[in-house]
Structure 1
Amino acid sequence: MTYKEQLRKIWRQYEVENGEEPHTVRECFDWAVERGLWAPRPQDIAKIFGREMSEALRQEIRVDEQGRHYRAKHCVRENRGGVQLALWNDIDRAPRSFMEKSFQQRRQGIVRDSYQLKMDVDHFNDSRSKGNPIQLILNFEDDVAEIEAEKAYGDGEVA
């Protein structure tokens, strides 16, 4: 059993004991530790640093002359010699080819997330929502335009 399979097993055990209503991961954590079902694993500090640095880089935001908030650091994932690498660069210095690849990879991530969301909604509608299906719109143009309008004419804050 993989580590993630073990975690899912703990969650199922937690649901059995605590009911199937929504719970927080923190509640499950407290329960699992109290029962000795989970303990911290040894961590590779280089991996921890990598995760934390990636998160910090992803969150660096700048504002351009037009008042647009944009991400400063971008990532491209590449395989080199059978090893997957995350290469980071600054949007204001990176070559166009790097930025094209980064934007395409991010877009593909959104597409994969949207596909999975559609599969989840379709499953729910087919199995539990007969006659009153949840509607899912995967065209985000209006949503993006609304956020742009809020930024231009509203309070300037984007959630």
Structure 2
Amino acid sequence: MSKSCNTFLEKMQKYTDEFFEETGKTTVTTKELAVWAITTNRWEPPMDLVVKKCQEDFARAMREQHINNERGQPVRVKHVARIRSGDQQLYLWGDIRNMPQEHMEISFQQRREQIVGECKQLKRDVDFYNEQNIGAEKYQMVFDFREDIEEGEFSAEYSPVRTSIGDLNSYEVEPKHSKKVAK
């Protein structure tokens, strides 16, 4: 272990001892210790950690920003394109209403690649599940999304808000574009 790491750990250990001494407590959670250390100005996050968290917050906010088109359907406002500049990889965000066409084409293609990657992984997962459950009905996933996309063209009720499995009424729900097939 390097000397600087050892020194840092020793400093954190010293703060832990100070906490016990100052509060008179004999036990503590790391969350309680962290709040105490921050509020007593003993610890502050490194700037790169603060910047990274801020970047993540901005990215999440931009991904979730939507406007409605003329049919009342939600459209994502901010789009990202991953590009190379010299030896650096950059994630450039822009507004769909005024972004250059080249940027939008890169963004659309990269999002499509992500969807294809998710479908490939889902197929592997379904195949593995079927292989592990010999004797049970095979689960077959349909990867033709034309009906879903056409249906979305007529529905202004689509919401980009994510739902969880807890939102389902029961486990008897049959997914629309999957089916069980006999072995």
TM (norm. structure 2) is 0.58
The CA distance in 2 between the partners of 1:101 and 1:157, in whole Å, is 25
Amino acid of the structure 1 residue aligned with 2:132: S
* Alignment-derived partner of residue 15 in structure 1: none
Contact 1:150-1:158 at 8 Å conserved across structures: no
Matched, 1:68 2:73: yes
Contact 1:61-1:71 at 8 Å conserved across structures: yes
Give the alignment partner of residue 104 of structure 1, picking from 109, 124, 129: 109
Matched, 1:84 2:89: yes
The CA distance in 1 between the partners of 2:103 and 2:77, in whole Å, is 14
The alpha-carbon deviation at position 146 of structure 1 amounts to 2.4
* Alignment-derived partner of residue 93 in structure 1: 98
Deviations, residues 99-154 of structure 1 (Å, cap 9, x unaligned) = 01100000000000000000010011112143511110111111222233332xxx
User: Which structure is richer in relative contact order (CA contacts within 8 A, separation 6 or more)?
Assistant: 2
The alpha-carbon deviation at position 80 of structure 1 amounts to 2.2
The CA distance in 2 between the partners of 1:101 and 1:44, in whole Å, is 29
The alpha-carbon deviation at position 52 of structure 1 amounts to 0.6
* Alignment-derived partner of residue 49 in structure 1: 54
Contact 2:73-2:158 at 8 Å conserved across structures: no
* Alignment-derived partner of residue 145 in structure 1: 150
Amino acid of the structure 2 residue aligned with 1:82: D
What residue ranges of structure 2 are gaps of 5+ in the alignment?
A: 1-28, 35-44, 161-183
The CA distance in 1 between the partners of 2:67 and 2:80, in whole Å, is 16
Contact 2:74-2:159 at 8 Å conserved across structures: no
Quote the RMSD (CA, aligned, Å).
2.4
Contact 1:147-1:158 at 8 Å conserved across structures: no
The alpha-carbon deviation at position 89 of structure 1 amounts to 0.7
* Alignment-derived partner of residue 137 in structure 2: 132
* Alignment-derived partner of residue 159 in structure 2: 158
TM (norm. structure 1) is 0.66
Aligned length: 118
The CA distance in 1 between the partners of 2:134 and 2:123, in whole Å, is 14
The CA distance in 1 between the partners of 2:69 and 2:57, in whole Å, is 26
The alpha-carbon deviation at position 91 of structure 1 amounts to 0.5
The CA distance in 1 between the partners of 2:154 and 2:137, in whole Å, is 32
The CA distance in 1 between the partners of 2:143 and 2:69, in whole Å, is 29
